[in-house]
Structure 1
Amino acid sequence: MLSTMTSIASAASLPFAPLAVERFSSAPNRLLFASADVDETRSMVGRVMKPHQLNRTTGSSERLDARMYHASLGDVCLSRLRYGASVDIEPGPLESFFLVQMPLTGYAQIDCGGQHVHSNQSVASVLSPDDETRMHWSADADQLMIRITRSQVERSLASYLGHPLKQPLRFELGLHWQDNAPWRCLMSYLLDCTTHHADLSQNKLLVSQIEQLVTLILLTSHRHNHSETAPARCGTVLPRHVRRAQDFMQTHAHEPLSVEQLADVAGVSLRSLYSGFKDFLGISPMQYLRDLRMERARSELLGSETSNVAAVALRWGFAHLGRFSSEYKQRYGESPSQTLRRR
């Protein structure tokens, strides 16, 4: 992470360069598709984002000339998309991811969760997963986009705050990204990485650092409904044994785990493990694991083909369906079955 942060810092005084976007787009294997067909375009974009409604704007005369360039970096995806014609897009709630859209040319009118923004070269849009979304793109709209999984962002925020989120994360819709130095420099860094390293996705360590970096900069450089919430213990760094236990739970959340096993992995006594989690995260190790499994259950309900809530709950260790549904609704503001119906 230090080398990544150094690269960002070295670019801090540089303006965002459109040339970097062109280099990204011309790099080998970045063109995902090019099409003049509405149905094909809808299908291809839906594979990267989610199924949605896409229609040429009534009365528009432009011919569709859609192109999408794409790079996947674990829980983060970088894309460039244009339609070449005025279009109306209705994805509904994004559900499983956050999406930052930055117009390079043209504009987009965005209605999202009761907020509205006229997005242009100065103002990006930050779409939150639970918000009903409708968009209109001008014919000359050409947008750079960052897609980040919901689980990645909310997990990072909960870890920073030291406790589970009491309400789903929701960002302000408009982001003045050209005036936001950390975000502008992040984009330059990502474009540079994906241009010069075609096989970047194979480097798991670097991908993990990029996931954390994108998430951190979004959370700290743009306002959201938890911005004023103070962390459980400000200015502290998690002890190594707490981080070891966290990492092990992230990897083995689907397996039976005991607190004794976690203490052994962390290399400390049970007492030290409990005090470390309580002092720095405000919860016990097993509550952390339960929260993590709840996140995984929600991701599966949102993103898989399953239609059986009970099977998902049981798979993630929730044997009492009524208690699972109650805790789920308290945390996410809807029942598991309602989540299924929103897909």
Structure 2
Amino acid sequence: MQPVNRTNSAVEIRRCRNIDEQAMLLDAWNQSYCQISRGTFDGSVSSFFAGGVRVLVERLNRTVYQRGQVAGSRVAVGIPFQLEGHALLCGQTSHRDGLHVFSGDGGFEFLSPDKHVVVNLEIEPEAVEDALVRAQLEEIAVRLGARPGVLNVDPARLQGFREVLKQLLDAVAATPTLLDDAGVAAAFEKSVVFGLAEVVPPMRVGEAHAHLQGEARTARNWQLVRQVRGLVEESPDCPLSVAELCARFRASRRTLQYAFEDTVGVNPSAYIRAVRLDHVRRGLRGAQSVTEVATRWGFWHFGNFSNEYRGQFGELPSETWRRARGV
């Protein structure tokens, strides 16, 4: 499935150099992205529409901390095609043979790795006209449960579904007008829904409980990282030291260090810097000057700030600011 620069009523394929622009392409997911790893961002989202089914192929080349809430009664799951590196979904270990459930109560938080290609399925029950397909979708929703997370499934079944999806998407990417035909669109919709049904296992309460126990430590660390992020956003102009974080959360330096390395793969200082730089990047769009937004987020040494910004995003803050102003 190679990216193609094409826009069609049923097929839209967009390449993005702006991480916020990419987040907005998944418009029903209400997402915000924060780039964690350093370097120029280059991603894409390919969208395929058929009846009540929307397939979104997302490619990312940087570690990204994602937050979102899938709208309404939509069922939203992700099938990893490439997922190399440290990744977590709602505090659970993310891996290639896990079905990633994004819909459900409370929203989701996803730390995606540098090498990331995920085929996301977004299905709106009200838009599915075929009664049999709609009934199957309702059963799938029950099996997925009420909250987002990683669902362990049979790897062979998941691989079989990957192959089905690849065939569908390759055919439509080659001839986008296929989905303009109602019969073809209905067949596409059925293939996706019934293919997903083959993958999603019936809920086994005992197994689910054991899995959650195994993930408990990572979940606790994930919660600590979320609290630190909230603290950074509450006091943007006051850079937090590791010592201050230890005091605030009554945790040892070693505990804090391990929590961050276990969840986001970087130390606390690097994570805080990434969050603050990300807010600067967004703020530059409407700022009167680079200095204004840099100091708002606690960067007072402008030479160091420019170097850190360029290392994180692959360009100087002045370049981001000028582009936002159309200069």
Q: TM-score, length-normalised on structure 1?
A: 0.47
Higher RCO structure (Cα 8 Å, ≥6 apart)? 2
